[in-house]
Structure 1
Amino acid sequence: MAVPSWCQAASAVLRQIEPVVVLEQLGSTLFDTALQMVVKDRCANATVPEMSREDSQQKAMTDFYMIYNLIIRLTPILPSLLLSRFSDRGWRRAPVVVPLSGYLLNRLILLLVVIFDFPLRVMFGAAVLFGLSGGYCAYWPAVMTLTSLGSTASDRSKVMMRVELLYGIAGLVGSLVSGHLFLLYSSNLGHGTILLALSTLLHLLCLLHSIFLLQVKQVSDIETEDKCHLISPACDEARDEARDEARDEARDEARDEARDEARDEAPVVEAPVVEAPVVEAPVVEARAGKDMATMVLLFAAAVLYTFAVGGAVEVLGSFVLKAPLSWTATQVGYGNAAGCGIFLTSFLGVMALRRCVSDVALILIGMLSFASGIYFMSFVTSTWMFYLARSLNLFALIPLPTIRSLLSQQVPASSYSTILTSLQLALKFAGLAYIPTFTKIYQSTLHWFPGFVFTLSSAVTVLAMIPVSIIGCRSRQRYETIRGD
C-alpha cells in the first residue's frame, strides 16, 4: 500500500510547476557560465586605440553584453503580451511552453558556435529568436501566475518565495559544477562543449515536461473571493474586528427589537425607535479594495529596484574577470553560486520575518540589504572581499517576489497573468535604460574608479525605498481609520 501512495505523491509533484523551474534554472546557470567564458576568450585579442589590452577586452565584452541584453529585453515585448492574453483566456501553459522552446534554441546555437567556431555575432541572432519566443519576460510571469492560482492569498508570498528558493538552489548547484564542467572537453571540440551539451539536454527535458506533464491547478479561497487586498498584517486584524463588531451589533439589535415588541404589546405610546445601521465586514472590502495608487507605487518601486540591481549585475560579470580579481572559469562558477545562494537566505528571511513584520517592511529590509552589499562592492579588490560584499546581500531577493504577491492580491484571478506580465514588461523597459547607462558609465570610469557603478546602484536602491515607505504610511493610516470607525 505504501508503494502506490509514494508513486501517487511523486506523480503529483511532477505535475506541478516546480520541476520545470528547477530544470530550467539548472540549464540556465550552466549556460551563463559558458557564455561568460566564451565571450572572454573571443574578446581576448580585442584592441582599442589609446586603451590598454585589458581595458580593450573589458570594452569589447561589455559592448557585446550591452547589445545582446538589449535585444533580449526589447524583442519579447509584443510576444509576451500576446502570450499573457492567451493565458488569461485559459491557455495557461502557453506562456511556459513557448518561451522554453526559445531557451532551447538559444542554448543550442551557442553550442554550435563553440563546436564550429562561428563568430560571436551569431549570438545576436540567437537572442532575437529567444526574444520572439517571449523569453524570461513571458516565462517567469507565467510561473508566478500558476503559483498564484495554486495558492491562497494568505500564503501567496510564502509559496512564491518557495518557488524562488527552488530556483536559487538549482542555480547554486548548477553554478558550483559549471566551472569544472567548462574545463572538460571532448576530443578536439574544445572547452565548454560538454557544459553546453548538458545545458541543452536539460532545457530539452524541461520543454518535454511542460508539454506532457505540467498541469494547471487552481485553489478556490474564501479570502480571494472576499477580495481583501490590504497589504499589511493589520488587514486580517481589521477584518476580524469588523466582523466581531457586526456580530455584536446584530445581537444587540435583535435584543432591542425583542424589547420593542414587548413594549408594543403594552398600551404605551413611545417615540419611534431609529435603528442603527449594521456595520458588516464588506465595509473593510470597500476600503481595502483595488487601490490604483498602491499599484502605481509598487510598479515604481519595482522599476527603480530592478534598475539598480540589473545595472550592477550587468557589469559585475566583466568586473570579476579583470585585475585585480582576474577570475578563472571555476571561480566564475563559485561567484555565480554565491549569487544563487541569496535565494536561499532570502527565503529563510521571509519565513523568519513574515509573521513579525508586514510585507512592506520585508521589501524595505530586502532593499536595504542590497544597498549595503552593493555599496561595499565598490571597493572590492580581492576575492574574499567579493564574498564579504555578497554576504551583505542576504535578503536582496525578497523585494520583487513580495511586490508580485501584493500586485496579484490587487486584481481578480482572471487578471493575474496580465498584471504580472505588465510588471515584467515594465522591468524590461527599465532594462532598456540601465543596460546602456551602466555599461557606458563603467567604461568611462575604468581608469579612476571601476566600482563607481556599484555606488550608483546603491543610491538608486535608496530611491526605490521611497515609494515603498509611502505605501507603508498609507496602509497604516487606513488601518487606524478602520479601527477608529
Structure 2
Amino acid sequence: MKGLYLVEPVVALYAFSSFLIYPLVQQYVYRRFWQQLTNTTYPISDNTSRCTINNSSNHSSYHEEVQRQASLFSLYTELFSTIPSLVVTLMLVAYSDRGGRKITIIMPLIGTLIYTLSFLTVSYFELNIYLLIGSSLLSSLFGGLGTFLGGCFAYIADLCKDDRQKTLRMAGLDMMIGLLSGVASISTGYFLRAAGFNWPFVTSALCQCLVLLYAVFILEETVKKAPTHANILNGSPQHSALKQMIYGVYRMFTGASHKCKTVLVLLMLIFTSFSFAYVGGISMMTLYELNEPLCWTEILIGYGSALSSTVFLTSFVGVTAFTYFGVPQTVIVLMGIVSVILGMSLVAFAKTTLLMFIGALFACLSFLESLTNNVSVAVFNSVYAATVTWYSGFIFLLSAGLCAIPLFVLGVVGAIGVNVAKEVKKPDPALSGEEDPVEDENENSPLLS
C-alpha cells in the first residue's frame, strides 16, 4: 500500500487531543491539592466566579496554599522531565536528517499517549498524584512538543520546492493548529462539567491512538535512509548525525563574516529570551485564573485557553498580510514582542473577566516554541510559589519586564543588520560546495557517512 505525504492530519488530531486535556491538567492537580489540604470537596459553582461562594479569610488562605502547592508540583514535574527531553530531542533531530523525519513525529506521539494514559489511570483510580511526576519523566524520554512540531515542519520543508510554497504550507499548519486547539479548548469546560475528568482523557487517548496508527502505517517517509555499514567500528547513525550537526554549526560560525556571526548570536538571544519570558508567563495562566479575585470556573478557563490558541490564526493572517504589503520582518517581530508586553501587563492587574480576556488576546498574538520552554516553566513556577502570598500578579510583571531584553536586542539587530542581507547573498567560500582538506579527509569516514 502506497503511503501519503500528508502530515496535516497528524498535526490536526494531535492539536485537538492535546488541547482537549491541556486546560484540565492544572485544574485536576489544583482540585486534588484542594481536597488534600482542606479535607473538603472542591467548590463548584454555575456562576462566572467561585469567589462569591466564600469570602472568609480561611477560604483565602486555603487558596494561597493550594496555589503554592500546585505551582511547586508543576516545578517538580518540569525539573524531572527537562534534561531527558532536551537530550532525546537533540538526538532525534540530529538523526532525522539521515534516518527519516517520521521518528521525530512518532516518538513524541508515543510519549504523549503514555502521559495521557497515566493521567487517566491516576484520575480513575484516585492514585497518589505524585505518580504523575514519574509519568512526565517517562514521557519525556520520547521527546516533547518541540520535537513533534520540529519534525512536522521539517517534513513539510522536505516536500516543498520553493520558499513561497514552504511558507504558505507551514502557515497553513499554524492555522490548523489554531482551529482544532480552539475547538478542543472551548469544549473542555463543558466536557469536564458534564462527565468529569476521566472521559476527556479517554477521548484524548483514543485520538492519539488514531493519529499514531496513521503516522506509523500511512504517512510516507520523505528522507531516504542512507545505507549503513555492518562494521561495528563504524559507529551508530545517531553518532554520525550528531557529529555532522555539531560540525555544521562549527562551520557556520567559523565561515561567516564577523557581522553575520554577530547578527546570528543576537537573533538567538532574541529567540531564547522571548521564549523564556513568554512561555514562563503563559504557563502560569490557569493557576492565576483559578486564584482570587478571578476564581474562574472550568467553562471560563476553557474559553480563555481557546482564546490563547488564536495565536496560530493571527500568525497566519498577520504574517501573510504584512509580507504581502512589504512590511520588514523586524517590524513584524517588534509588533509581536510589544503585544506580549501589553498583554502580560494587563493580565497582572486584571481583576475582572473582561480585562482578563483582553489581556489574553494581546498576550497570544505571538508564540514561539524552543528548548528554553521547560527551563522557563521551572523558574516561573518557583517564583510564583514564593510570591503568591505577597502579590500573585508579580509573575506577570516579571514576564513583561524580561521582554525588554529581546526588545532592546532587536533594536541592535536593526541598527547593524542593514547590509547583512546583501552580504549573505554573496557566495562564501567557507560555506560553499568547494572541497576543503578537512572535508576530504573525512569524506569516507564512517562517522560522517
Alignment TM class, shorter chain as reference: 0.7 to 0.9
Which residue of structure 2 aligns with residue 174 of structure 1? 184
- 1:91: Cα distance to partner? 1.7
Matches within 5 A, 1:186-205: 191-205=196-210
Which residue of structure 2 aligns with residue 58 of structure 1? 67
Q: Which runs of 4+ in 1 moved over 4 A?
A: 286-290, 479-483
Distance in 1 (alpha carbons) for counterparts of 2:131 and 2:286: 21
Distance in 2 (alpha carbons) for counterparts of 1:64 and 1:481: 49
Which residue of structure 2 aligns with residue 470 of structure 1? 412
- 1:124: Cα distance to partner? 0.9
Which residue of structure 1 aligns with residue 347 of structure 2? 377
Distance in 1 (alpha carbons) for counterparts of 2:111 and 2:382: 29
Which residue of structure 2 aligns with residue 37 of structure 1? 27
Distance in 1 (alpha carbons) for counterparts of 2:201 and 2:296: 20
Contact 1:365 1:395 in 2 (8 A): no
- Listed one character per residue, the Cα deviations across residues 238-263 of structure 1 (whole Å, up to 9, x for unaligned) are xxxxxxxxxxxxxxxxxxxxxxxxxx
Distance in 2 (alpha carbons) for counterparts of 1:470 and 1:213: 47
The correspondence for 1:148, drawn from 128, 133, 157, is 157
Q: Which has the larger radius of gyration?
A: 1
Distance 1:361 1:215, change over 3 A: farther
The correspondence for 2:118, drawn from 106, 109, 113, is 109
Residue 440 (str. 1) matches residue 382 (str. 2): yes
Structure 1, 153-162 or 14-23: larger mean CA deviation: 153-162
- 1:394: Cα distance to partner? 5.5
Distance 1:443 1:100, change over 3 A: same
Contact 2:78 2:378 in 1 (8 A): no
What is the percent sequence identity of the aligned residues? 24
- 1:154: Cα distance to partner? 4.2
Distance in 2 (alpha carbons) for counterparts of 1:155 and 1:365: 25
Distance in 1 (alpha carbons) for counterparts of 2:283 and 2:104: 26
Which residue of structure 1 aligns with residue 363 of structure 2? 393
- 1:33: Cα distance to partner? 2.5
Residue 27 (str. 1) matches residue 17 (str. 2): yes
Matches within 5 A, 1:338-353: 338-353=307-322
- Listed one character per residue, the Cα deviations across residues 229-283 of structure 1 (whole Å, up to 9, x for unaligned) are xxxxxxxxxxxxxxxxxxxxxxxxxxxxxxxxxxxxxxxxxxxxxxxxxxxxxxx
Residue 297 (str. 1) matches residue 302 (str. 2): no
Unpaired segments ≥5 residues, structure 1:
1-10, 186-190, 219-285, 402-423
Distance in 2 (alpha carbons) for counterparts of 1:387 and 1:482: 43
Residue aligned with 2:101, SS: coil
Distance in 2 (alpha carbons) for counterparts of 1:99 and 1:462: 33
Distance in 2 (alpha carbons) for counterparts of 1:366 and 1:328: 30
Distance in 2 (alpha carbons) for counterparts of 1:44 and 1:321: 12
Contact 2:344 2:397 in 1 (8 A): yes
Which residue of structure 1 aligns with residue 290 of structure 2? 321
Which residue of structure 1 aligns with residue 77 of structure 2? 68
- 1:62: Cα distance to partner? 0.6
Distance 1:336 1:130, change over 3 A: same
Which residue of structure 2 aligns with residue 308 of structure 1? 277
Unpaired segments ≥5 residues, structure 2:
39-57, 224-254, 426-449
Which residue of structure 1 aligns with residue 95 of structure 2? 86
- Listed one character per residue, the Cα deviations across residues 171-212 of structure 1 (whole Å, up to 9, x for unaligned) are 101001111111233xxxxx2111110000011111111111
- Listed one character per residue, the Cα deviations across residues 120-156 of structure 1 (whole Å, up to 9, x for unaligned) are 1111111011100112232221122112223323454
Distance in 2 (alpha carbons) for counterparts of 1:448 and 1:367: 28
- 1:47: Cα distance to partner? 4.3
- 1:470: Cα distance to partner? 2.8
Distance in 1 (alpha carbons) for counterparts of 2:24 and 2:389: 28
Contact 1:80 1:138 in 2 (8 A): yes
Contact 2:101 2:222 in 1 (8 A): no
Distance 1:156 1:475, change over 3 A: farther
Distance in 2 (alpha carbons) for counterparts of 1:55 and 1:93: 45
Distance in 1 (alpha carbons) for counterparts of 2:143 and 2:424: 43
Distance in 1 (alpha carbons) for counterparts of 2:310 and 2:145: 20
- Listed one character per residue, the Cα deviations across residues 66-95 of structure 1 (whole Å, up to 9, x for unaligned) are 111233322212222221222011322111
Distance in 1 (alpha carbons) for counterparts of 2:309 and 2:146: 20
Distance in 2 (alpha carbons) for counterparts of 1:42 and 1:481: 58
- Listed one character per residue, the Cα deviations across residues 349-402 of structure 1 (whole Å, up to 9, x for unaligned) are 1111112212222211111111111111110011111111122236323xx38x
Distance in 2 (alpha carbons) for counterparts of 1:358 and 1:159: 21
Q: Which amino acid aligns with 2:397?
A: T
Residue aligned with 1:354, SS: helix
Distance in 2 (alpha carbons) for counterparts of 1:130 and 1:481: 44
Distance in 1 (alpha carbons) for counterparts of 2:33 and 2:295: 15
Residue 212 (str. 1) matches residue 220 (str. 2): no
Distance in 1 (alpha carbons) for counterparts of 2:275 and 2:321: 24
Q: Which amino acid aligns with 2:385?
A: Q
Given the two structures, how large is their TM-score scaled by the length of structure 1? 0.71
Distance in 1 (alpha carbons) for counterparts of 2:424 and 2:269: 27
- 1:114: Cα distance to partner? 1.1
Distance 1:210 1:478, change over 3 A: same
